[in-house]
Structures are given as structure tokens and as C-alpha cells.
Amino acid sequence: MKKEQDFYQRLEQKGVSRRDFMKYCTVLTATMGLSASYVPAVAEVFAAPKQRPPVIWLHFGECTGCSEGFLRSMYPWIDELLIDILDVEYHETIMAAAGHQAEENRERAVEKYAGKFICVVEGAIATKYNGAYGKIGGKTFLEIAKSVCPKAAAVISIGTCAAFGGVQAAAPNPGGYKGVSDALGIKAINIPGCPPNPVNLVGTIVNYLLLGKLPAMDNLNRPMFAYGKTIHDQCPRRSHFENDEFVEEFGSEEAKLGYCLYKLGCRGPETYNNCPIVKFHGGTSWPIQAGHPCIGCSEPDFWDKMTPFYEEM
């Protein structure tokens, strides 16, 4: 209780009222597809964690875009995630330690929190020549993944690379890159997107912390609360599609009117994600709002299956 009071006091100092905070928790609860009765419980997760849940975040064949996306989290703020809510034991982009001290942190955390830590994996795993095309500290991605992932309470593949192989796995896939589940023969939770909206990662983690289990998933192991519907079915431009009102060239009168982008190659009908509803950066925008067709970035093998991007489906 004392901790909770401290928490709200801190929020107040940051100019966030308790009311705003509860509003956020309501949004997150709704995003996760839980009933309103869970709102206080969601608030509890942020306000007074007894022990911050340990997270080991691994980077393999990736561009760090998913980490950058995570850093953009505004609900809750990224500093709160790092300092007050989670215990990020290993994350190469932000951790202070380097070299063998960094490796020690990883190994120690795996040991200390065996069966309890959340393992977030960013990036695909190189498999050709025994994994030779990707190494950290002299060990291959493959070797590190095999030593960490099986000991986690849950493995979350953040982003399309970790989920399905991503850009480096596009034909001809020179390094033999594979997604985490595929490379290790495990069933990771997939939060695809290039990069995914941080809300979908936070929602999944909160779901886990709150209910002690993972959210409901689809056949590609994606949380249904985020990936249950197509972009097309939630698109604010949908009525233009029904009325045969299409943009045929960027910058045209039709583009200015916000007509449907289907004829410019929009992959919304084939892509499952919540971008139109959640949007990015506190609801600022998302690709279709910025006048660009969806490229299907959360679907498996989109770099091969959804291209050429600008040709009608």
C-alpha cells in the first residue's frame, strides 16, 4: 500500500494524475481484450510489483528497430518499464556492462532466474555453416539461444525477424537465417511487425504478469488481442473500398481525400494487426494514415510474399 502511494506520488510529480493513469490502464486492458473488471489489477502490476519480473533480451540477426520501438513505449513510459516495472537483466543496447561482464550478467541471470525469467528475442538466427554468420562473445547466435531460451518461463519473439526470419531470411537467404521457433524447435510467442507496436509487447507481458499465463494465440502463435483481425477489417478507409473509391497515384486528389490504397498495393486485407486501432506513438499516426499502403510487415515471409509492394494484390 505504501509502495502504491509512493507510485502515485511519483506519477503526480511527473504531471500524471491518478485518473490519467487509470485511463491508461483501461486502454491497455481493452487492448488486451480483458473485461473492465481487470483494470485495478492491471494498475496493480505497474504500481507495486513485489519483485520486478526478470527479462533477458537477446539480439541476433536484426537491426535493433524492435528495441528502438520498445524505447518509444509511452504507456507506461520506457523509464518506468526499465526502472520501476521490469528487471531487464540483459539488453545489449542499453546495458552499462560490456564484454565479459555483460556475458556474466546473462549467464548469471539465466542461472538465478531459471524457469522464471521472460526471454525476449529480437532478430533471426543464422544457421548456415554451424551458425558462423552471427556471433556474440565468440559464440554463435544459435549456441546462445540454445543455452538461454529453454530455461525461460516464456520466450517472446519480438518482431518479424525473430518470429519468422524477417529481411535476412528473404530469398536467397545467404546466411540461412530462421525465426526462433523454427531454429530451436520450440513454440515462442510471436509479436511480429517491422517493428511491432510496443503496446503489443507490453500487453503480452502484463497479461502474463496478471494472469500467470499467456494470452490466447492464433495458429501462428500471435496474441489474438493484437493480431485477431485484419488491417482491412479495421481500416478507417474501408468505406472507400466498398464504394470503389481508390487512390491510383500518390499525391493525387484521391490521395488528398483519403481514398482506399488497395490499387497501390495495400496488403491490409492479408495482414493481421491492430495498427488502425492502436496506431503508433500515442495515437499519432500509422502508415495508411500517412498515405502509404500497408506492406504486410507482420506476416510471415512478407518480404517475398507481399512484394512487389506497389503491385495490386
- Mark the binding-site residues, compressed into ranges: 63, 66, 161, 194, 232, 235, 260, 266, 275, 294, 297
Task: Say whether residue 36 binds other proteins (CB under 8 A).
Answer: no
Of 216-245, binders to other proteins (CB under 8 A) are none
Q: How far apart are CA 237 and CA 243, in angstroms?
A: 10
Q: Cell 486501432 maps to which residue?
A: 277
Beta strands in 165-224 (DSSP E): 177-178, 189-191
Task: Say whether residue 292 binds other proteins (CB under 8 A).
Answer: yes
Written as nine digits, the cell of 313 is 494484390
Task: Say whether residue 61 binds other proteins (CB under 8 A).
Answer: yes
Residue 91 or 222: the one with the smaller Cβ distance to other proteins is: 91
Task: Say whether residue 40 binds other proteins (CB under 8 A).
Answer: no
Task: Say whether residue 4 binds other proteins (CB under 8 A).
Answer: no
Q: How far apart are CA 310 and CA 313, in angstroms?
A: 9
The order of strands in the sheet holding 87-91 is 87-91, 54-59, 118-122, 154-158, 189-191
Which of the stretches 24-32, 39-47, 54-62, 215-223 binds other proteins when contact is defined by CB under 8 A? 54-62
Contacting residue, 1, 19, 35, 99, with other proteins by CB under 8 A = 99
Which of the stretches 80-88, 181-189, 200-208, 225-233 binds other proteins when contact is defined by CB under 8 A? 80-88
Contacting residue, 96, 115, 212, 244, with other proteins by CB under 8 A = 96
Of 139-198, binders to other proteins (CB under 8 A) are 139-140, 143, 166-168, 170-175, 177, 194-195
Which of the stretches 34-42, 150-158, 222-230, 251-259 binds other proteins when contact is defined by CB under 8 A? 251-259
Q: Pairing state of beta strands 87-91 and 139-140? A: unpaired
Contacting residue, 21, 59, 192, 260, with other proteins by CB under 8 A = 59
Q: Apex CA 238: angle with CA 235 and CA 240, to 5°? A: 140
Question: Which of 157, 205, 184, 215 shows the shortest CA–CA distance to 54?
Answer: 205
Task: Say whether residue 21 binds other proteins (CB under 8 A).
Answer: no
Task: Say whether residue 77 binds other proteins (CB under 8 A).
Answer: yes
- The number of C-alpha atoms within 13 Å of 46 and in the hemisphere containing its C-beta is 26
Q: How far apart are CA 59 and CA 159, in angstroms?
A: 11
Which of the stretches 35-43, 199-207, 214-222, 247-255 binds other proteins when contact is defined by CB under 8 A? 247-255
Question: Which of 78, 98, 75, 101 shows the shortest CA–CA distance to 88?
Answer: 78
Of 103-132, binders to other proteins (CB under 8 A) are 103-105, 126, 128-132
Annotated binding site for [3Fe-4S] cluster: 275, 294, 297
Q: How far apart are CA 198 and CA 73, in angstroms?
A: 6
